[in-house]
Amino acid sequence: MKRYSNLFRHLKALVYLVLVLALPACEIDEFDDPNNPTIKTDDATIADLNNLVVGTEAGMRNIIGTYYDNVGVIGREHYRFSGADPRFTSDLLGAGNAVLDNNTFYTTNPWSARYRVVQNTNILIEATNNANPELVSEELKQGYLGFAKTIQAHELLMNLNMMNENGIRLDVADFNNLGPIVDREASLAAIAGLLEEAKGHLEAAGATFAFTLSGGFAGFNTPATFLQFNRALAARVAVYRNQFAEALTFLEGSFLDLNGDFNKGVYYVFSTASGDQLNTLYFAPNATGEVRIAQPDFIKDAEPGDDRLSKVSKRTAPATQSGLTGDYDVALYKTNTDPVPIIRNEELILIYAEAKIQTNQLPDAVTALNRIRTGHGLRPYTGALTRDALINEMLRQRRYSLYFEGHRWIDMRRYNKLNELPIDRAGDDVWVNFPIPFAEEGI
């Protein structure tokens, strides 16, 4: 079966329209014929390119609910109870003989959603390179290219986070000649390379972009400030590659602020506007049927006074499914239009702490960890000043600071600590990676 191969071949004709209409909250230019929009990759105008930017940003939000359920459930942050689909509590948790399926929604939907955005960025890159130079200056082109390659790197990283050792497909620019699946290390290197290419473009992009980004990029909507977002992503990739000195260098160009607002950052945004998307990570308190329940150890293991326990809320009655029970809802989001972070300052402080530990600058690491601890109502760290002890403390702070933001499974995996995650039912498994989608086999 070659479903995804066919999908890629038709993306140029179809996906752009779907994505570009999905974010009406952004300002977009009118098409010449709004009933029959087309993609112009030759002699593109600023209006054409801006439509592609809007579509790209809109598509980044597609299927993120499934992605966060995947990594959060396997990472034992929460249970996903569903009256419609038992695979959240069977396949994702490895119940009995259940394994991860390479041809079902939780594998194929996030994979294809991310590649739709990658393809949109490829179209944007092609259209930018072929844009009419009399209408789009070289400086403006650099802004489009810097945006496109930064977002492409982010989307590829999300798929690699799921696939891990199984790798991802990097080259999808030619619909009829897709590149091979590339292993994890080579994929990380390529993603890092994309971010560096984007950095060069952004540095040559002048003072302003020719396009408007949504409110999720407030404070990061010029070439110089968008570059800070790019450098933040580069720091995340660097720690995934165990390149800790490089991570510290990247942080210097990011929006890291040890004493700043934890929540400063770049976000997915949502609205109730017609045609827009709602935040699918939100479920109402005490819901039944479709529920996210905090894994009980998140509450049990917390230190007294930790204000991050506000990320869960006590239910009026426990929720139970498939032998799993919990008393607390995941309550990170209070409404269905709350923004969802892509990356924020609190993560950067923790990346800084991790890189300082790994480069044997332990007092600096303790300073950063204490910024997190005291910022959430805890006393300063009093444990051992050793590398191993501080790694455990750093992972603990990441567990609570970045709860339900897509990190716990990845963090424990990269430190070879998956065996420390709780097993709630005898015979359950903690998976290391998702399988490559069935439709990708043999392409």
Co-location of 52 and 123 in the same domain: yes
Whether 32 is in a domain gets the answer yes
What does the pLDDT profile of the chain (443 residues) look like in tens digits? 233 333 333 333 334 333 333 333 333 333 343 333 346 577 899 999 999 999 999 999 999 999 999 999 999 999 999 999 999 999 999 999 999 999 999 999 999 999 999 999 999 999 999 999 999 999 999 999 999 999 999 999 999 999 999 999 999 998 789 999 999 999 999 999 999 999 999 999 999 999 999 999 999 999 999 999 999 999 999 999 999 999 999 999 999 999 999 999 999 999 999 999 999 999 999 999 999 999 999 999 999 999 999 999 999 999 999 999 999 999 999 999 999 999 999 999 999 999 999 999 999 999 999 999 999 999 999 999 999 999 999 999 999 999 999 999 999 999 999 999 999 999 999 999 999 999 997 67
State how far the alpha carbon of 81 is from the alpha carbons of 60, 87, 90, 259, 309, in Å: 25, 9, 10, 38, 21
Q: Which residues span the domain enclosing 301?
A: 290-330
Co-location of 318 and 197 in the same domain: no
Co-location of 25 and 153 in the same domain: yes
Q: What is the pLDDT of residue 13?
A: 36
Structure tokens at 116: 């739709």
The closest alpha carbon to 173, from 198, 197, 206, 149, belongs to 149
> With helix as H, strand as E and coil as C, how does 195-235 read?
HHHHHHHHHCCCCCCCCCCCHHHCCCCCHHHHHHHHHHHHH
Co-location of 319 and 361 in the same domain: no
Q: What is the pLDDT of residue 40?
A: 54
Co-location of 99 and 248 in the same domain: no
The closest alpha carbon to 196, from 206, 208, 188, 185, belongs to 188
Co-location of 163 and 25 in the same domain: yes
- Number of folded domains in the chain? 3
The closest alpha carbon to 127, from 112, 155, 147, 153, belongs to 147
CATH of the domain at 127: 1.25.40
DSSP states along 69-110: HHHHHHTTSEEEEESS-GGGTTTTTT-TT----TTSHHHHHH
> What's the one-letter identity of residue 404?
F
Whether 171 is in a domain gets the answer yes
Q: What is the pLDDT of residue 389?
A: 98
Structure tokens at 72: 């959060």
Co-location of 207 and 322 in the same domain: no
Co-location of 180 and 302 in the same domain: no
Co-location of 317 and 385 in the same domain: no
Co-location of 134 and 6 in the same domain: yes
Task: Answer whether 112's CB lies under 8 Å from 169's CB.
Answer: no
Q: What is the pLDDT of residue 68?
A: 98
> 336 exposed, middle or buried (CB, 10 Å; 0-12, 13-18, 19+)?
middle
319 phi, psi to nearest 5 deg:
-110, 140
